[in-house]
Amino acid sequence: MKGGERPKVAKKGGPNKDQVQNDPNYAKLRSNQKEFAIASMMAKSLRESLSPTMSEICESYVSGRLTAKFRNLTSLEEGQTGQRPMTLSKHGHLLNGFEFNTEHPYEQIFGANYFVKAGSRKGQVILHFPAFIPDNTFTKPIEATNFKINARLVALSDYAFDSEEGAYVAKNKELHGKFGDYETNMLPLLKIPIEPMTAMVGIDHADIPEDTACFLVMAVSFYKYENGKFNHLNKESGMTIKRVC
């Protein structure tokens, strides 16, 4: 160091807001932020379409895991980062089996055989549960006395980047977030078989276009009957993305 010359001090902190928004050096960061934002919005749309009871099953960090799953779908498409489409109708099936409560996975909790079939049109799913003995079927909490089965079919639109607007735009805004649902009655956890159950879950729309995916979310909730009311044992209940069609 030359005499009288002060040592250089590294700048503290990261880039400021203006640099992130306008500096060419942060163009890649801006592109990544756009794809992260659309993935985050998709995760939020799916979660906000769930019933309050289903939402209670979600573990605390499920939003981050779900956003990461959606974010990975953009990498399957060609194009510039930050402008690649979010094509759920094509790649959404890769979220099949996503667990909302990893401590109690739905498929391990619900031991009975049941069937999921496509309905007569897109946006319809038929569920059939043959007779089963609840006490022998579930991996359940010791204190549980009752259970419910929930299903929700949620429509999520594909999104494409609009260069004129400089943002992602829904291919089918009207249907995005719409849902159909099914919920059983409160059923006891007995050692005798319950009757077979068949139900159709459908989104109330005559024609679901090809640029929209339908997420079938299945949940089993356990309850403890105590002091005249049913208490949801949400932390020991399970929920999964059963199928995307």
Return mean pLDDT, the chain.
89
Residue 14 has pLDDT above 80, yes or no: no
For the packed helices 27-48 and 62-74, what is the interaxial angle rounded to 10 degrees? Answer: 120
User: Angle 27-28-33 (CA atoms, 0-180°, nearest 5)?
Assistant: 100
Tokens 């801006």 correspond to what residue? 30
Per-residue exposure over 4-33, b if at least 16 CB sit within 10 Å of its own CB, e if not: eeeeeeeeeeeeeeeeeeeeeebeeeeeee
Sorted by sequence, the CB contacts under 8 Å of residue 39 that are 6+ apart come out as 67, 68, 70, 71, 73, 74, 86
Instruction: Work out the pLDDT band at 4, boundaries 50, 70, 90.
Output: low
pTM: 0.86
- What's the rounded Cα separation, in Å, for the pair 58 and 64? 12
Strands (E), 54-158: 115-118, 124-129, 146-157
Per-residue model confidence as pLDDT tens digits over 208-237:
999 999 999 999 999 999 999 999 999 999
| Coil/strand/helix, residue 124 | strand
> Domain spans of the chain?
17-244
